[in-house]
Every structure is written in C-alpha cells, then in structure tokens.
Amino acid sequence: MDFELPEEHRAFRDTVHRWVEAECPKDWARELEADEHNYPHELWAKFTEAGFHGVGIAEEFDGQGGNVLMQMLLARELARSLGGLAWIWGITSFAGSKSIGLYGTPEQKAKYLPEIAAGRLKAAISFTEPGGGTDLLGGLSTTAEKVEGGWVLNGEKIWSSSAHVADYLLCIARTDKNVQKMHQGLTLFWVPANSKGVKITPLAKLGMRSMGSCTVVYDNVFVADDDVLAEPNNAWYTLLPTLNNERIMVGAFCLGVIDGILEDALAYVMQRKAFGKYIGQFQILQHYIAEIATMQQSTELLLHFCADKQARGEEVGNQANMLKLLASENANRAADMGIQILGGMGYSAETDMQRYWRDSRLWRIGPVTNEMVKNGIAESLGLPRSF
C-alpha cells in the first residue's frame, strides 16, 4: 500500500499552503471570526479569485476538476488558518457542487455548476429542525404538498449556516406521509432563498461566528418542479453518498485545525521562557505536543484512507463515521491541550487556540453527534440497534 500522495496532489497541496499563508493569515482569520454580524464576503471573493469554488466540479461545467482527495487537501489547508471559517467554502461545495454534481439533472448541472464554480452562487444546507437535532428523520416536520407546476413547502429549519447570504437552500421535506419507514417519502428541494414566504433569522453562537447560522421558516413557499433534486419521495437514498462526503470533509477540516494547533504550540514553547528556560524544555509540555503530533498522524492516515476509497467508488460509510469521530475528538482535545500549553494566552482572543477550540467543539455535535456515530459503528459490528 502506497501512503504517498501523487505528484499532482502534492503540488496542489503546496500551492494552497502558500496561498493561505499569503492571503488568509491567522491574524486576519481572528478578525473575521470575531465579527459575528458581518459575513466575510472578502474571504469568499478570495476563494473565487483562486478558483477554489471550482475544485471538484468537472471542467465541462467550467470547474477545476479534481476528485474527493483534492477537495480534502483544500479543506485541510484552509482550516489550518481559518479554522471553522473554512466552511465558507465547504457549505456551497457540499450543498451545491457535490449534491447537484452527483444527482442533479443534466439541465440542473448545466445551469448551476458553472455559477458555483465562478463563485456567483452561494448555497446553504437546510436539514436540521428545532425539535429534531440528530434525529433528522424522527424530528422531520417540514412538509411539501404537490400543486400544479411544483410544490408548496411549510416548516422550520435551524442551524442553517450562511443561509442569510445564500442564493439557494438545499431543503429536505416530507412529501408522503403514508409510508412504512421514516426514511421513505422524503424529497430534496433547491429553494431560491429570496422566494416569497422564506424568512431567515441569524442566531448567536459560540464559534464560527462571522459565517452565520440561521433559522429558516418556510411559509407556503412555492418551489417549481424544476427545483426538485433527484427523484421525489426518495431523498434519503439520494443523500447517503453525499453524507459520507460530508463526514470526510469534516475530517479534513479537523485535521487542518490540528495542523494549526501544532504549529502554534511549537512556535510558542520555543520562544516563551519561564523559570529561567524555554518552556519547550519542560517534559509535560513535550508530552502534550507529542500527543498532538500523534493525533495529527492518525487522523491523516484515516482521512486519506477514506478519501481514497470514496474516490475509487468503494463503500466507505462505516470508515467515514470512524473518521468523523476520531478527527473531531482529536481536534477538540488538541485545541484544549493547546490552550493549556499557552496558559493565559491560550485563553486570550489575541491567539488562535481559543478559536480552534470553539470551532472544533461543534464538530463533536454536527453534522451528527459523536454518540450517534458510535451507535452506527456498533450496529455495523452486529450489535443490536440502540435507538
């Protein structure tokens, strides 16, 4: 088994690394993240200029091409400096290019993918409901009824990140109540965010502040038949491959955060003095850094394994769950260690450790809680379902 990246991927990674250093340094990321009332349009514009929105979109649709591994390399390098703000790129990549690119009609691909690749279209995910959380199916109360020429959508969603600046909302709703199982009778809608009856309200939250997360209310919103994605009433089976991609993407973001933590920790212990010597000489701090480096290596190996399997078209659901679990726990624990290494400065808004901790804490909850991930892994090993 070859663990080395192909030359093309190494060159891409190194190019993005240099770009991040020049265009998205950590001090600027701190400024952006601190202002929760202003979406960082300038950051989106930088991604556009660099062509990042086109990564993973076929060249026939004006994209940059590249497989899932290329996307994960980009996600990792962005998160090293931006932390959770890397979702500024990731949300539209998942909700737009990955979803439409996988199960959109030829007409939908031709209409939307070039717009996404050019950075002219922002998307948001509109799945979670106030009473649902991780119980997406059991808590799903949003409905859509068929009418002439389309559907009428009613319901409420929550934690829809960047919905307040989105052009389209990727929304899941129940379209058939007469089903035997909860995952049946669901449909995906590509809803224009400026549709009559859509009300979007930003929420205050702990991390990823300037990106914005919102509640979205759908009040008799008309959605045309042309904006239904894939087969009506069969959305769950359509979504499953993209949910694996989302978990792999979370793994890449978490790994990028670990990269940033290790960089900052090493730099600090080699310049900070206490008790007459550099604190990098203290054994306990060396142990913390050794643990962070080990988390980095183990997360990287599982990420590349999952991305390679998915790029080959192989089943990767269980491994993607394991990656999401391992990566998010590692990133949040590494960030906590980073705060401890920096001491009071780790708690200060003048450094990035507190930002890495706040952002990585979310990934232990979303897009699915780690407790639910463990349930799925245990069930895959033959144990009875626990929920």
CATH number, domain containing residue 19: 1.10.540.10
Name the pLDDT band for 271 (thresholds 50, 70, 90).
Answer: very high
**Is residue 385 domain-resident?**
no
Name the pLDDT band for 345 (thresholds 50, 70, 90).
Answer: very high
**Is residue 164 domain-resident?**
yes
Looking at the DSSP bridge assignments, the partners of residue 126 are 171
Residues 361 and 266 in one domain: yes
Name the pLDDT band for 254 (thresholds 50, 70, 90).
Answer: very high
Residues 276 and 220 in one domain: no
Residues 129 and 118 in one domain: no
Residues 13 and 118 in one domain: yes
The answer to whether residue 73 scores a pLDDT higher than 70 is: yes
Range of the domain at 264: 236-380
Name the pLDDT band for 279 (thresholds 50, 70, 90).
Answer: very high
**The pTM is what?**
0.95
**Is residue 387 domain-resident?**
no
311: domain CATH number?
A: 1.20.140.10
Residues 112 and 19 in one domain: yes
- Residue 220: burial class (beta carbons within 10 Å; 0-12, 13-18, 19+): exposed
Parallel, antiparallel, or unpaired: how do β-strands 123-126 and 168-174 relate?
Answer: parallel
Name the pLDDT band for 233 (thresholds 50, 70, 90).
Answer: very high
Overall domain count for the chain: 3
Parallel, antiparallel, or unpaired: how do β-strands 213-224 and 228-229 relate?
Answer: unpaired
Q: What is the pLDDT of residue 54?
A: 95
pLDDT digits (tens, 9 = 90+) for 147-187: 999 999 999 999 999 999 999 999 999 999 999 888 899 99
**Is residue 42 domain-resident?**
yes
Residues 256 and 129 in one domain: no
The answer to whether residue 241 scores a pLDDT higher than 90 is: no
The residue among 217 and 238 whose pLDDT is bigger is 217
201: domain CATH number?
A: 2.40.110.10
The answer to whether residue 1 scores a pLDDT higher than 90 is: no
Average pLDDT, the chain: 94
Residues 369 and 251 in one domain: yes
Looking at the DSSP bridge assignments, the partners of residue 151 are 146, 223
% residues pLDDT > 90 (the chain): 85
